[in-house]
Structure 1
Amino acid sequence: MLKKSFLAVLILLVLTACGNKDEKMSDEERDKVIEDGTVGFEMMGGNVEKADNVPAEDEKAILASFDEYIAALNAEEIDRYMNTISKNPKGFKYDEEKTYATEVFEQFDIKREVENVTIAKYDSKEAQVFANMKMHSLQLETNVEHESAGRQVTVFVKEDNDWKVTSVFYIGDDSQSSTGN
């Protein structure tokens, strides 16, 4: 029972900055999101194609913003993390995100490892960053560990000359595991 409740809580809490977008999407939901233009990019043989229209300066700034977003989450520093978030996000509410992230940081130790980070879609006001992600979490109260992996698209918007997270879409794989110590 504890493992099931932990998994349910973890699915709701793991990503932070996802609002209602952190649950696993069905293939149909994912296709609709892509069709609607909310998230869109080309996958070739399981690899995401890099957007070819990203100016070098913006590419450097966007990837630096993504790295800071992940580093702030891993460091569990709320002010640093909130500095990576748009003041007017599309995928969640800013004030609720601060409360939510604070609770996650207090209850879990979560570390994210990212690979294959690619700017998959770009225009001068918005960029979509794709990454394969592995998450290792420890629920502090119960000492239950959980590992998961999936793909994430982090949508950034240009705000006050910086790139800020406005929404996050996560597609998890089905091979998740939990262990208690």
Structure 2
Amino acid sequence: MCGRYRFSPNENGEIKRIYNLASENSDSIKIGEVFPSDTTALILADEQKDILVTGMQWGFPGFKPSQLIINARSETVKEKKMFSSAFKSTRCVFPTTGFFEWDKEKSKYLFTLSAQPIYICGFYKTFKEGARSIIITTEPNQSVSPIHNRMPLLIAKADINRYLTNDDFADDYLKRNMPELTVEKV
């Protein structure tokens, strides 16, 4: 599961550029530790397949009042009624400077990628409240598995455009192995 991540523009020039672009298109982009329901920077493709950066709230409305659905499993995203059409037509990428997971003892860990941005696969959907985004999770790699049984589906910067605009590439990407990460107890 991915329940929080870090978006720190002052730690990375690329993330700062993304923050500035998102801030031009949306108010109140959350920086620092990002929680579900926060407005966060996202990379997406418009109807003409042009790549753009904007802000959007994280979490689909749930089945109960004030419930948010923040993650979708890569193994079932194409079959679940709530997710399948949005995954097919409105994919997005969450730019981050790391993500957090907790172990069974409730200790918190930060996962990073050698001072590089971490990009997380997702998708979005428009509801009556507006557009909302969701993160895709997958089986954990060796970096994450000692801490948690799920991790975000990470994508290399070079693959973002194809993930956003190419349905076959996005379908195949759901089965990718994840890169090894640096982990730090925080």
TM-score, normalized by length of structure 2?
A: 0.31
TM-score, normalized by length of structure 1?
A: 0.32
- Structure having the higher helix fraction is 1
Larger radius of gyration: 1
